[in-house]
């Protein structure tokens, strides 16, 4: 596959399975792209608050299909979500952006977020990231 120049990935969910999907794609993208922007939107904010990523629940749709998802993840020693975030940041070509309106709405501050978050931005900046990307994925 040819190397994409820039990939933007938006996580708009705090459900474990959806956060995993976005982080797995982002962790893969850092090996295939010149730059990856991970944008955390309104629904994803809770996953990026300190201590919350380890306690995420699965989406209700998945519960109906297979209530043992969290157990399967634990049993297979699957990489933890925060470890995926750390490996993405260690690559040197990933920035993590969190939605300022989400922080305001839920009463968080920048200090409440995990250390790997690079900045907090508004809708115009998030749109600019997406418009300048070669590929945009949303989870």
Coil, strand, or helix at residue 47? helix
The closest of 36, 43, 42 to 118, measured between CA atoms, is: 36
Using one digit for the tens of pLDDT, what is the confidence trace for 15-72? Answer: 988 999 999 999 999 999 899 999 999 999 999 999 999 898 877 666 666 557 777 7
The closest of 137, 29, 26 to 81, measured between CA atoms, is: 26
CATH number of 129's domain = 3.40.1260.10
Residue 129 near residue 138, CB atoms below 8 Å? no
pTM for the structure as a whole = 0.88
Structural domain containing residue 106: 4-138
> Considering its fold, how many domains does the chain have in total?
1
pLDDT attached to residue 2: 61
């Amino acid at each position: 596959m040819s190397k994409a120049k820039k990939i933007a990935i938006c996580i708009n969910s705090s459900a474990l399975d959806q956060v995993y999907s976005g982080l797995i794609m982002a962790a893969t993208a850092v090996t295939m792209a010149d730059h990856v922007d991970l944008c955390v939107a309104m629904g994803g904010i809770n996953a990026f608050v300190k201590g919350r990523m380890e306690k995420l629940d699965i989406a209700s749709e998945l519960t109906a299909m297979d209530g043992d998802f969290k157990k399967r993840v634990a049993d297979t020693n699957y990489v933890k979500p925060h470890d995926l975030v750390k490996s993405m940041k260690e690559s040197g070509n990933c920035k993590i952006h969190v939605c300022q309106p989400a922080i305001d709405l839920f009463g968080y501050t920048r200090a409440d977020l995990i250390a790997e978050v690079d900045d907090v931005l508004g809708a115009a900046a998030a749109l600019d990231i997406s418009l300048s990307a070669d590929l945009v994925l949303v989870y």
